[in-house]
Structure 1
Amino acid sequence: MTAPIETTSGQAEAHPEAVLSGAGRGMIEGRSLGQIAWSRLRRDKVAMAGGVVVVLLVLLAILAKPIEMVFNLDPNAFHQNLVDPELLSPKGGWGGMSWSHPLGVDPKFGRDILARIIEGSWISMLVATGATVLSNVIGTVLGVIAGYYGGWVDSLISRLMDVFLAFPLLLFAISISASLQDGAFGLSGLPLRICVLIFVIGFFNWPYMGRIVRGQTLSLREREFVDAARGMGARGPFILFRELLPNLVAPILVYSTLLIPTNILFEAALSFLGVGIAPPQASWGGMLTSAVDVYQSDPQYMFVPGLAIFITVLAFNLFGDGLRDALDPRSK
């Protein structure tokens, strides 16, 4: 039964109860900023494709050891019977490709290239992610402090950024990595080299993040919500980490997706120069180093790790560009 309708001057009027009875039907729900960004990101097919590749690469790096155990892959197993020692090239098909070795074998020792690509994935991801986290933490903290307080604090931190940016980073990284190869801080071998790479790449790259965060903080500190927090008696640390920092998540996240591939290239360059990950541990940069001497007789050995680096860097860059557009409130 519906509520009766009264007529006044020939016009129908419904009782308030009749209006309220349908008030909860078809209500329009608001969307959060995260939902809006996700809807924008889903419309960008190129960014989504890059994101899928990034997820697959991360899963490959995390599951590298279990995959090697399940499929009985040994990245350091020698197969000298598959290599021609005089020509320094694999026997059989192109690059020694077969059902047992889908990507071929190492032209020097006959090691399986697929196994070494999988093994090198977690090295590259670990070094790049650790260096990115380190540089983001240092750059974010110093950048937000410099942008908020200004004055002599801003001048001091800004000049410190200029000093770090003036360092010849590659030469400095080579010298530090070469001097700490034997042992330091109670570490040796592969753990020491990974920690040194993370420290060198992350510690000297923080000014890039610091400049971005400082610039964003300079504009945010004049916003109304910061004035309201000051008016309520909030102190500096509370405003920094409870008001300003949550509004800096988007630029930090976007820049991180663009910084990870840069760090992957940096690690590959150091390994290529012989001061990064030492053999026989597999790494993409180290594989390129080994391929220099045999690229004429077996070009595939250089092509495969180079393609792995290319796909990884391209996927992160495409996903980072799409994420930047999705998180930008001024984009359509």
Structure 2
Amino acid sequence: MTAPIETTPGQAGAQPEAILEGAGRKTIEGRSLGRIAWTRFKRDKVAMAGGVVVILLILMAILAKPTEAIFNLDPNAFHQDLLDPSTTVPKGGFGGMSLAHPLGVDPQFGRDLLARIIEGSWVSMVVATGATLLSVVIGAVLGVIAGYYGGWVDSVISRAMDTFLAFPLLLFSISISASLQDGAFGLNGLKLRIAVLIFVIGFFNWPYMGRIVRGQTLSLREREFVEAARSMGARGPYILFKELMPNLVAPILVYSTLLIPTNILFEAALSFLGVGIAPPQASWGGMLNSAVDVFYADPEFMIVPGLAIFITVLAFNLLGDGLRDALDPRSK
């Protein structure tokens, strides 16, 4: 015989309907995968800081031309009066910094470094984003095809990846960029330089994305949702682009954020070597090239573009690491 359950006077009169009515006042709200990932990402303060810096850099690149027009910034305007005629070193403080020129001027022609940093930002972003987009499109499509179909298709695409990875990319980029400087494909000048850099960097880097997508596809092609699509009569293209590709968005997005800073460094390296963006167009790599000869006389001329590259690459890497942890909690 069980003992009676003791109740307090307040609980004795409580009816089940009243209890259920009180519990229903706070409904349980479901969360999507995107919202869960955003919640995880917000907890990573370092990644959030990197994301804020990336957004500011993108806005600076997009608004470069309007900013120069509004604040009357001319990246190619000479200010010879700001240079010491005997040493060609900027007058005044460190690198010629002043209220009119917050980052100083270059020791060659007295050009404003802030204006040249802003002008160089859109060049780096356009080249890096375009090359990354080209790599992602080619690598994702060929990677998912190789992983899903397997067999001889996988063998052909995989050997193509190995062939592209065996290319001495830096030497190949230098030779192509140097040979197409005058004009080609109806383009010349800055447009041709940017198009060549996007093609060279993006086309020869797609195997890195292709390998990642292929590996993820191999683990997804035997999942239940793919088998269900096959059983309903879905053909290969439908399964590739409607079933598999949406599930590959997360790794593609993460690797893209890590590929952009690599492409920024590659563009800066080519411009530093003199086969990228040609002067007088401002570019961060070209500014570093110009600073080599005057480093000991004016080290600030090299520090400014070097810090711009360093901060940009670091911000994208922090953002990519945060996205990886947020979209794949098993990596923690």
Percent identity of paired positions between Structure 1 and Structure 2? 83
1:89 alignment partner in structure 2: 89
Confirm or deny that 1:47 pairs with 2:47: yes
Letter in 2 for 1:226: V
In the TM superposition, 1:181-192 aligns within 5 A as 181-192=181-192
**Map of 1:219 onto structure 2:** 219
Deviation track 1:269-296 (CA, whole Å, cap 9, x = no partner) reads 0000000000000000000000001001
Give the Cα–Cα distance (whole angstroms) in 1 for the partners of residues 148 and 58 of structure 2. Answer: 36
Deviation at 1:136, TM superposition (A): 0.2
Q: Shift in Å at residue 120 of structure 1?
A: 0.2
- Cα deviation for residue 304 of structure 1 reads 0.2
Alignment-derived partner of residue 238 in structure 1: 238
**Counterpart secondary structure, 1:279:** coil
Distance of aligned partners of 1:19 and 1:176 in 2 relative to their CA distance in 1, 3 Å threshold: same
- Count of residue pairs brought into register by the alignment: 321
Give the equivalent residue in structure 2 for 1:65.
65
1:7-86 to structure 2, matched below 5 A, reads: 24-86=24-86
Q: Which residue is 2:271 aligned to?
A: 271
| 4+ residue segments displaced more than 4 Å | 11-16, 18-24
Change (3 A) 1:314 1:12: same
Q: Check conservation: 1:177, 1:197, Cα contact below 8 A.
A: yes
Are residues 323 and 15 of structure 1, via their aligned partners in 2, closer, same or farther at CA, if it must alter by over 3 Å?
closer
Asked if 1:110 is matched to 2:110, the reply is: yes
Q: Unaligned regions of 5+ residues in structure 1, if any?
A: 1-10
Cα pair 1:46 1:318 within 8 Å, conserved = yes
The one-letter code of the counterpart of 1:152 is: W
Tell me the secondary structure at the aligned position of residue 101 of structure 2: coil
| Partner in structure 1 of residue 201 of structure 2 | 201
Provide the TM-score with structure 2 as the length reference.
Answer: 0.94
Q: Indicate the RMSD between aligned Cα atoms, in angstroms.
A: 1.5
- Is 1:317 aligned to residue 317 of structure 2? yes
Q: What CA distance in whole angstroms lies between the structure 2 residues aligned with 1:88 and 1:138?
A: 49
Aligned letter for 1:61?
A: A
Q: Give me the whole-angstrom Cα distance separating, in 2, the residues matched to 1:183 and 1:257.
A: 32
**In 2 relative to 1, CA 81–150 (structure 1 residues): closer, same or farther, beyond 3 Å?**
same
C-alpha deviation, 1:83, in angstroms? 1.2
* Secondary structure of 2:248's aligned partner: helix
Partner-residue secondary structure (3-state), 1:77: coil
Aligned equivalent of 1:162: 162
Supply the distance in 1 between the matched residues of 2:89 and 2:47 (Cα, whole angstroms).
39
Tell me which residue corresponds to 2:99: 99
**TM-score (norm. length: structure 1):** 0.94
Shift of 1:25: 2.8
| In structure 1, C-alpha distance between the alignment counterparts of 2:329 and 2:233, rounded to whole Å | 30
Code of the residue aligned with 2:200 in structure 1: it is V
Counterparts of 2:240 and 2:86 in 1: how far apart (Å)?
65
Partner of 1:180: 180
Give the Å deviation of 1:85.
4.0
Unaligned 5+ residue runs, structure 2? 1-11
- Counterpart of 1:3 in structure 2 is none
1:134: how far off? 0.2
Structure 1 counterpart of 2:204, one-letter code: F
